[in-house]
């Protein structure tokens, strides 16, 4: 080929259609070998990447919980967080980290320890806390956090002691039982928490419903939840208040209520013991009655109830010289080992009347039997 012909060929315009036909032919020619080479290349590249443990890769963790540190230190410093650290705020953190290839599959969100440090708080009011994380060359570094700061409300942390515990008894006992007054253990508690709440507390109240108890004779101890009240008996939220027995420092959620139950029996009042002396001369006692005539009594477990037959007067009423019916109050003698007596005194009525002789009774009978005299001016029948 001569030089002019070569020059003509070099000066020919680019044929795009011919180029793409040749490219398509090269791709479709032996396509199976080409696909195999592509797959092999991918595996070779993956192997090389996996062997390079220092290669950094991005990883994202969702729903990470932010931990709260040094709450006890904050309280020792005289402060307490009252809002801003609820579960909703502390959960749902999204964390993006850069980790080495060799630990990509095993690293956990807890490795980076997302947290807020309460020991950094130095005052009351609105405070901003930085969300802290931990980085290392072994596990990588944190690139981004969806929550970088948390705002909290801080108050003074104060304590008060000798808060009285009151048992608020409701309901009633079944028939046949008597219960001594319920007592609380402990009878005083100490409280600690935000000043706005602690200063308002007047008492610790234990709701105690007698109708819900399993009744058995003897002493029962029941652990019951309590509530805190102000002077007007309004409830005070206790979720931020620590309640402890005095001088223990052990937080409690219940108060033990102790109460002893006794079996009740009904005993008659001994009428012969209620009065002493004799009525006036010429008078006699018709009857002696007591109101009430029977008394409910509860004894201790060691008492033989069958040996107690009646209730006696401790100081009998002196009816010496009375000539008419009289009512007096007579105190009763409390039986030995009695834990409960329904009444301490009874009203005694002594009915007295003049003595009627046999002669007087006969005259009265004759007077009753004698016919009535006719009225003046009336003629007798048959005259």
Residues of the chain with pLDDT under 70: 1-16, 19-20, 23-34, 36-37, 43-54, 357-383
Residue 85 shares a structural domain with residue 125: yes
Residue 257 shares a structural domain with residue 273: no
Q: What is the pLDDT of residues 161-194, one digit of tens each?
A: 999 999 999 998 888 889 888 999 999 999 999 9
- 3-class state of residue 36 by DSSP: helix
- Which of 210, 236, 262 is a domain's end point? 262
- Domains in the chain, number: 3
pTM over 0.85: no
Q: Is 376 contained in some domain? A: no
Task: Tally DSSP H helices, then E strands, for the chain.
Answer: 7, 24
CA distances for 22 relative to 30, 37, 364, angstroms: 14, 21, 160
In angstroms and rounded to an integer, the radius of gyration of the C-alpha atoms of the chain is 51
Contacts 24+ apart (CB under 8 A), 246-254: 246/161, 246/162, 246/186, 246/188, 246/189, 246/190, 247/190, 252/189, 253/225, 254/223, 254/224, 254/225, 254/226
Residue 234 shares a structural domain with residue 203: yes
Question: Omega before 186 cis (within 30°)?
Answer: yes
Q: What is the pLDDT of residues 114-133, one digit of tens each?
A: 999 999 999 999 999 999 99
Residue 258 shares a structural domain with residue 273: no
What is the pLDDT at residue 212?
A: 85
Q: Is 30 contained in some domain? A: no
CATH of the domain at 319: 2.170.120.40
What is the pLDDT at residue 379?
A: 45
> Which residues constitute the domain of residue 62?
56-147
What is the pLDDT at residue 211?
A: 86
For residue 156, count CB atoms less than 10 angstroms from its CB and return exposed for 0-12, middle for 13-18, buried for 19 or more.
middle
Q: Is 43 contained in some domain? A: no
Q: Which residue has the tokens 């259609």?
A: 17
- Which of 147, 167, 196 is a domain's end point? 147
What is the pLDDT at residue 380?
A: 44
Residue 65 shares a structural domain with residue 142: yes
Q: Is 209 contained in some domain? A: yes
Yes or no: say if 142 and 115 are a contact pair by the CB < 8 Å rule: no
Residue 171 shares a structural domain with residue 208: yes
Q: Is 175 contained in some domain? A: yes
Residue 84 shares a structural domain with residue 169: no
Q: Is 168 contained in some domain? A: yes
CATH of the domain at 77: 2.170.120
Q: Is 108 contained in some domain? A: yes
Residue 126 shares a structural domain with residue 168: no
Residue 253 shares a structural domain with residue 273: no
- Which of 262, 289, 307 is a domain's end point? 262
What is the pLDDT at residue 302?
A: 73
Residue 310 shares a structural domain with residue 349: yes
Residue 307 shares a structural domain with residue 343: yes
Q: Is 26 contained in some domain? A: no
Residue 307 shares a structural domain with residue 250: no
Q: What is the pLDDT of residues 252-280, one digit of tens each?
A: 999 999 999 998 889 999 999 999 999 99
């Amino acid at each position: 080929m001569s030089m002019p012909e070569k020059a003509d060929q070099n000066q020919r315009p680019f044929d795009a259609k011919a180029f793409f036909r040749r490219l398509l032919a090269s791709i479709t020619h032996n396509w199976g070998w080409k696909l195999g080479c592509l797959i092999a290349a991918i595996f070779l590249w993956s192997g090389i990447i996996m062997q390079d443990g220092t290669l950094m890769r991005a990883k994202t963790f969702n729903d990470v919980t932010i931990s709260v540190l040094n709450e006890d230190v904050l309280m020792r410093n005289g402060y307490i967080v009252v809002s801003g650290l609820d579960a909703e705020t502390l959960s749902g953190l999204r964390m993006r980290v850069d980790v080495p290839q060799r630990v990509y599959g095993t690293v956990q969100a807890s490795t980076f320890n997302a947290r807020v440090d309460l020991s950094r708080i130095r005052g009351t009011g609105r405070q901003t806390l930085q969300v802290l994380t931990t980085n290392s060359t072994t596990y990588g570094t944190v690139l981004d956090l969806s929550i970088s700061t948390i705002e909290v409300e801080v108050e003074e942390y104060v304590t008060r002691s000798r808060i009285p515990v009151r048992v608020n008894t409701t309901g009633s006992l079944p028939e046949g039982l008597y219960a001594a007054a319920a007592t609380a253990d402990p009878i005083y508690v100490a409280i600690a928490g935000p000043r706005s709440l602690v200063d308002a507390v007047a008492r610790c109240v234990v709701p105690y419903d007698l109708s819900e108890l399993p009744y058995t004779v003897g002493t029962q101890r029941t652990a019951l939840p309590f509530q805190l009240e102000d002077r007007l008996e309004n409830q005070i939220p206790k979720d931020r208040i620590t309640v402890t027995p005095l001088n223990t420092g052990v937080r409690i959620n219940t108060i033990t209520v102790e109460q002893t139950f006794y079996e009740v029996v009904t005993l008659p009042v001994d009428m012969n013991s209620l009065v002493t002396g004799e009525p006036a001369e010429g008078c006699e006692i018709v009857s002696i009655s007591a109101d009430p005539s029977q008394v409910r009594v509860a004894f201790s477990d060691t008492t033989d109830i069958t040996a107690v037959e009646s209730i006696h007067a401790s100081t009998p009423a002196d009816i010496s010289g009375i000539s008419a019916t009289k009512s007096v109050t007579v105190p009763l003698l409390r039986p030995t080992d009695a834990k409960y007596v329904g009444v301490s005194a009874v009203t005694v009525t002594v009915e007295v009347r003049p003595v009627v002789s046999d002669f007087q009774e006969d005259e009265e009978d004759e007077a009753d039997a004698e016919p009535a005299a006719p009225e003046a001016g009336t003629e007798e029948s048959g005259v």
